[in-house]
Amino acid sequence: MTMVRPIYLYQRLPNKIEPSPAVKALLKQKLGVDKIPLDGHVNGFAVQFSYAFNERFSFVAVKDGYADINADGGVLDWEDHSGWLDLAAGFQYSFLYDPENDFIVSGRLVAELPTGSDDVFQGNGDGNIAPSVLFLKGIGNLQINGVLGFVISMDNDDENTLFYDSWHISYAVTNWFRPLVELNHFHVLSAGDRDLKDALGQSTVDALPELDGSTIASALHDTSNTNKWDELVAGATSFNGCDIINLGGTANDENRDLVTLAIGARFRVTDWLDFGAVYEFPLTDEEESLMEDRFLLDAMITLRF
């Protein structure tokens, strides 16, 4: 059996985001603000894929695609960026498989390769590996599933190491309509080591306290139009980013947790095709992430050979 899942997402960026303590002090002194202006939105396209060798063992491709980031930035006037996401794939094995009782427990190991574009906060370091445990339990028309896992950076300087968990409940109201709710949590275990000197250079960072606000704003804007954009955001922020973005900034453990809630539904068209629509928003402070909210549409195509 093969599953193909094309995905489209539209994600709004917060109007402003929480900087690292050092950047916060600089912004307040030079520009009269204590947050980094951001605003704007992201359009993203991806295709997930899985191939089941048998009822227990599968190949899974969980991350790929293309993103277009349109940030405003207010006084900083950020440039727009677009590029490919990293590639992540691996294998999943169901070590407890009990279809009669609608209960499955699986282990998954995924490797993410740094093949993406730094314009969209990808391609950092040497990638990461992500081991996880997944479960699914059906109780009549109710289905509960969850996952607990880690994102382990292969280069601790360029990416954060994370723990994450996700909890999903859906209910089949009819054969074709299944509303759902999902809770997602990401926790920074250890932060990377990217800071402003990686983006601006040591001499510029040393000179910042002596520069006026307009000169600093111009320098930050100019850097946003170079391949140092991702290092600028990583070094200036106090959080990880979001589920598909691992910033690896030295202060990303100041605000370690991101919790989001997703509400939506799946709509079955045939036994091989269904569609999904979800609205997701953070329960933690949106300014401590790159997500104000997100709309996600997908299709699930199941092919049996």
**CATH number of the structural domain spanning residue 116:** 2.40.160.40
Roughly what angle, to the nearest 10 degrees, separates helices 229-236 and 213-224? Answer: 130
Residue carrying the six token digits 């569609």 = 275
pTM assigned to the model: 0.93
Structural domain of 73: 2-303
Residue 96 to residue 170: CA distance in whole angstroms:
21
CB 57 within 8 A of CB 47: no
At 204 the pLDDT is 81
CB 138 within 8 A of CB 174: no
DSSP the chain: -EEEEEEEEEEEPPSEEPBPHHHHHHHHHHTS-SSEE--EEEEEEEEEEEEESSSSEEEEEEE--EEEEEE--GGG-PPPEEEEPPEEEEEEEEEEEEGGGTEEEEEEEEEEE--S-GGGT---TT-EEEEEEEEEEEETTEEEEEEEEEEEESSTTTS-EEEEEEEEEEE-SSSSEEEEEEEEEEEEEE---B-HHHHH-HHHHHHGGGS-HHHHHHHHHHHHTSTTHHHHHHHHBSS-EETTEE--BTTTTSS-EEEEEEEEEEEEEETTEEEEEEEEEESS-GGGSS-SEEEEEEEEEEE--
From first to last of its 305 residues, the chain has per-residue pLDDT tens of 799 999 999 999 999 999 999 888 888 888 888 898 889 999 999 999 999 999 999 999 999 999 999 988 765 667 788 999 999 999 999 999 999 999 999 999 999 999 999 999 999 999 999 999 999 999 999 999 999 999 999 999 999 999 999 999 999 999 999 999 999 999 999 999 999 888 888 888 887 888 787 888 888 878 878 888 899 899 999 999 889 999 999 999 999 999 999 999 999 999 999 999 999 999 999 999 999 999 999 999 998 86
At 76 the pLDDT is 66
Total domain count, the chain: 1
At 165 the pLDDT is 98
The partner residues of 297 in beta bridges, in order of sequence, read 8, 277
At 75 the pLDDT is 58
